[in-house]
Homo-oligomer: A and B are copies of this chain.
Amino acid sequence: MVEKDPKYHIEGVLAGDRKILSKTITLIESALPRHKQMTDEIMGSLLPHSGNSIRLGVSGVPGVGKSTFIESLGLSLLENEHRVAILAVDPSSAKSGGSILGDKTRMEKLSADPRAYIRPSPAGKTLGGVARKTRETILVCEAAGFDVVMVETVGVGQSEYSVASMVDFFLVLMLSGAGDELQGIKRGILEIADALAVNKADGDNIKRAEKAKQVYENALHFMISPDASWHPPVLTCSALTMSGLDDLWETVLRHNRIMKKNGRFERKRKQQAKDWFLYLLDEGIKEWFYQLPKVKKLLPEIQKQVETGNATAMMGAWRLLELLEQSESGRTRSN
């Protein structure tokens, strides 16, 4: 990529230039240290223009119909004068270097519309890496004027928790089945969902979807709601027939109104920013430590001793932490 100056990126993004928006996101996704300062400058200028969107996380196991759902919801939002950006957090695709949104034909209509912007999952090595870029990408998209940002994730590994911690509203798509839906419920998923939607509630499937809805409502009833002002509802919808999508969006807006009224919206975003900051910091510290040649050399041997019961966890940890005491910064340690 030919490198431009920050001004080029800042003005282009603020003007809503999709081509420059893509270049800017690519720059942010770049792991090159020499890009850090430039992205710092760009993000610093874009930040004041970010934040003005509804951040919607959409999750669900493969086969639940996420892409079709997102396209249908996205199209109906465009009709209501919204501008929609769609991002993907997908560790599995990241591994393969591909993306769940890579196959544009899966969102033909939406990707063809200039009021929508679809960004595939970056090919980061780790979920942390993928999510890291996505958070910054949300801000850039907002600065570019998109007032709805959807973040899609597959129901795999920790990706849901990561996405839930960067959006205002976390929606989990479910499938109706033979009554054994809950056997397949991912542990903890019910606790981070702001709403469940049983998708593919069309044709012969409507009855099963209604039944599944009740089972899920029953299961949610078992959970302590982390927020007394919002009890996650269960809806049914069909991305195919577009039914239920208006209700679903109205639910998102209602959640948004309530949270803004009781101040939780602001607090949640502040908390998310703080948590992410401290997370990046902790990850960075560890990354730095585990790259130290002395540590790389000693760690495997010590870990083996701990696993085989030849050293306690604490004995092993001390031996490695002593390396810090020896380092220059270590001497400045206060205790």
List residues of A whose CB falls within 8 A of some B CB. Answer: 36, 40, 43-44, 47, 50-51, 132, 135-136, 139, 182-188, 191, 219, 221-224, 226, 270, 273-274, 276-282, 284-286, 288-289, 291-294, 302-303, 306-318, 320-321, 323-324, 327-330, 332-335
Please state if B277 and A303 are interface contacts (CB–CB under 8 Å): yes
Please state if A292 and B44 are interface contacts (CB–CB under 8 Å): no
B-side contacts of A291, CB under 8 Å: 333-335
Smallest Cβ-Cβ distance to A302: which chain B residue: B277
Do A329 and B318 form a contact, CB below 8 Å, given A306-B274, A307-B270?
no
Q: Is the interface of A mostly helix, strand, loop or mixed?
A: helix
Least Cβ–Cβ distance between A194 and chain B, in angstroms:
15
Least Cβ–Cβ distance between A327 and chain B, in angstroms:
4
Do A317 and B277 form a contact, CB below 8 Å, given A139-B312, A187-B223, A293-B332?
yes
Smallest Cβ-Cβ distance to A28: which chain B residue: B314
Complex Cα spacing A36 to B226, Å: 41
Please state if B306 and A187 are interface contacts (CB–CB under 8 Å): no
Please state if B286 and A303 are interface contacts (CB–CB under 8 Å): no
Smallest Cβ-Cβ distance to A51: which chain B residue: B309
Do A292 and B332 form a contact, CB below 8 Å, given A191-B187, A285-B324?
yes
